[in-house]
A and B are shown apart, each in its own frame.
Chain A
Amino acid sequence: MKNWPLWEVFIRSKNGLSHKHVGSLHATDSEMAMENARDVYTRRMEGVSIWVVESKHITASNPEESGELFEPAQDKVYRHPTFYNLPNELKHI
Chain B
Amino acid sequence: MLHDYIISLGDNALILGQRLGEWCGHGPALETDMAMTNISLDLFGMTRSYFQYAAEVEGKGRTEDDIAFLRNEREYKNVQLVEQPNGNFADTIARQFFFDAWHYLFLQELAKSSDAQLAAIAAKSIKEVKYHLRFSSQWVLRLGDGTEISHEKMQNAVNDLWMFTEELVTSTDLEKEMADKGIGVDVSQLKTAYYEKLESILREATLEIPQKQWMQQGGKSGIHTEYLGHLLAEMQYLQRVHPGATW
Contact = CB atoms under 8 A, between A and B. Distances in A.
Interface in B127-142: 131, 134-135, 138, 142
Interface stretch (B25-33, B79-87, B115-123, B195-203): B25-33
Q: Is the interface of B mostly helix, strand, loop or mixed?
A: helix
B170 interface: no
A1 B138 contact: no
Closest 4 CB pairs of A and B: A36-B31, A39-B35, A39-B34, A40-B34
Nearest to A35: B135
Contacts of B35: 35-36, 39
Interface residues of A, number: 14
Interface stretch (A25-33, A56-64, A80-88): A25-33
Interface residues of B, number: 13
Contacts of B38: 39, 43
Contacts of B134: 35
Contact of B138 (A26, A31, A43): A31
A22 to B, nearest CB: 14
Given A35-B135, A43-B38, A27 B142 contact: no
B138 A32 contact: yes
Interface in B7-37: 28-32, 34-35
A27 B138 CA distance: 13
